[in-house]
Amino acid sequence: MLKTRQCLLGIRTFLGLASRIWGFILYILRKHLRTIIQYQTVRYDTLPLSPASRNRLNGVKRKILVLDLDETVIHYRKCRGHKHPVRFFVHKRPHVDFFLEVVSQWYELVVFTASMEIYGSAVADKLDNNRGILKRRYYRQHCTLDLGSYIKDLSVVHSDLSSIVILDNSPGAYRSHPDNAIPIKSWFSDPSDTALLNLLPMLDALRFTSDVRSVLSRNLHQHRLW
């Protein structure tokens, strides 16, 4: 009887250990899958502009692309530990590095987040990666608090709203300027997400307009998510 109990205890111990090992293996596989998809080779061909397109672009103002952080280009996970009361693990949306590399050639990039500066600044630094493309940044203190939600007033970025585009997953954040917004679906963990890549053709074309609101006011803010 004692041998039977010891045998059962040994089996339980083995199964518990095997379960933990298998869970760790799955974690590593998921992590590597996210890395592979994030850094897989992607292309968006930027062909030389025709003389007519070059003249058109020279005749309009350089546009500003305002980027939200949380659930738009990154997602963070909060963890608690013994030595560190709160730790944040930040995951990049698939293709965000390639996206920033391309659009930084077309637009002046600005970060505008409702997060606290101590967090938002650290995330922006990681996204910038010493490239100097995310120099202008706005945080929670630059937002307007209204009925418990933070609204991003784009006039603090530039007084000329005809040249500003905001990319944000939260319609409430840009409700003061819906005609300047490009909605995007919230991202949390889907490694197959291509929303940022899907926006490149439109952002490429939008930089040629004299007033971005003439295009974005038509239908993009009517709950159309990329």
Collapsing DSSP states into helix, strand and coil, what is residue 43? coil
Shared domain check, 27 and 95: no
Q: Is residue 16 domain-resident?
A: yes
CATH of the domain at 80: 3.40.50.1000
In the residue annotation, 45 being an active-site residue is answered as no
Shared domain check, 218 and 140: yes
Contact partners, residue 184, CB within 8 Å, separation at least 6? 72, 167, 168, 169, 195, 196, 199, 225, 226
Shared domain check, 205 and 133: yes
Question: Which residue in 45, 70, 97, 153 is the catalytic one?
Answer: 70
Shared domain check, 27 and 112: no
Q: Is residue 55 domain-resident?
A: no
Q: Which H or E run contains 112?
A: strand 108-112
Report the distance separating Cα 64 and Cα 48, nearest Å: 22
Residue 99 structural domain: 60-224
Q: Is residue 166 domain-resident?
A: yes
Q: Is residue 53 domain-resident?
A: no
Residue 223 — very low, low, confident or very high, per pLDDT cuts 50/70/90?
very low
Shared domain check, 119 and 18: no
Report the distance separating Cα 220 and Cα 226, nearest Å: 10
Q: Is residue 49 domain-resident?
A: no
What pLDDT, in 10s, does the model give residues 44-101?
777 788 898 889 999 999 999 999 999 999 999 877 666 666 677 899 999 999 999 9
Question: Which residue in 45, 68, 193, 211 is the catalytic one?
Answer: 68
Shared domain check, 137 and 199: yes
What pLDDT, in 10s, does the model give residues 132-172?
999 999 999 999 999 889 999 999 999 999 999 999 999 99
Work out how many domains the chain is built from and give that number.
2
Shared domain check, 35 and 80: no
Shared domain check, 197 and 103: yes
Shared domain check, 69 and 28: no
In the residue annotation, 204 being an active-site residue is answered as no
Collapsing DSSP states into helix, strand and coil, what is residue 121? helix
Q: How are the residues of the chain apportioned to helix, strand and coil, as percentages rounded to the nearest 5?
A: 45, 15, 40
The answer on pLDDT for 181 being more than 80 is yes
**pTM for this one?**
0.79
Q: Is residue 44 domain-resident?
A: no
Closest CA to 124 of 92, 168, 98, 160: 92
Shared domain check, 67 and 30: no
DSSP codes joined into one string, 169-220? S-GGGGTT-GGGEEE----SS-TT--HHHHHHHHHHHHTT-S-THHHHHHHT
Shared domain check, 29 and 64: no
- Beta-bridged to residue 112, according to DSSP, are 138
